[in-house]
A and B are shown apart, each in its own frame.
Chain A
Amino acid sequence: MRTHFSRSAFIEGVRDMLPMTVGLIPFGIVCGVGAIAAGASPVAALAMSMIVFSGAAQIIAAQLLAAGAPFAVIVLSCFVISLRFLMYSAALAPYLKPVDHRWRNLVAFLLTDQAFASSIRRFRESSDIRANVSYFVGGGAVLWLAWQIATIAGILAGAVIPASWQLEFVVPLCFLALLAPLLHDRTALIVFAIAAIAAIALDSMPMRLSMICAGLAGIVAGVIADRVLGRSATTEVEPGN
Chain B
Amino acid sequence: MIVVVGAINFGTRLSFIALFARREMPPLLARALRHVPAAMLTAIVVPAIVFAAPGELALGAGNVKLIAALIAGVVAWRWRNTLLTIAVGMAALWLLQRFVG
Q: Which A residues contact B (CB, under 8 angstroms)? A: 19-20, 22-23, 44, 47-48, 51-54, 57, 61, 65, 71, 74-75, 78-79, 82-94, 96-97, 101, 104-105, 107-109, 111, 113, 116-117, 120, 166, 169-183, 187-188, 191-192, 195-196, 198-200, 203-204, 210-212, 214-223, 226, 233, 236-237, 239-241
Q: How many A-B residue pairs have CB under 8 A?
A: 268
Q: Is the interface of B mostly helix, strand, loop or mixed?
A: helix
| B residues contacting the other copy or chain, number (CB 8 A) | 67
> When chains A and B are docked, how far (Å) is the Cα of A195 from the Cα of B40?
8
A222 contacts B38, CB within 8 Å?
A: yes
Report whether B36 and A166 are in contact in the complex, using a CB–CB cutoff of 8 Å. no
Contact, CB under 8 Å: A195 / B17 = no
Give me the interface of B with A, judged by CB distance under 8 Å. 1-6, 8-10, 12-22, 25, 27-51, 55, 57, 65, 68-69, 72-74, 76-77, 80-83, 85-86, 89-90, 93-94, 97
Provide the residues of chain B in CB contact with A48, threshold 8 Å. 2, 5-6
Assess whether B25 is in contact with A90, with CB atoms less than 8 Å apart.
Answer: yes
Nearest A residue to B85 via CB reads: A177
Instruction: Tell me whether B4 and A75 are in contact (CB under 8 A).
Output: yes
User: Which of B5, B12, B50, B72 makes the CB contact (< 8 A) with A61?
Assistant: B5
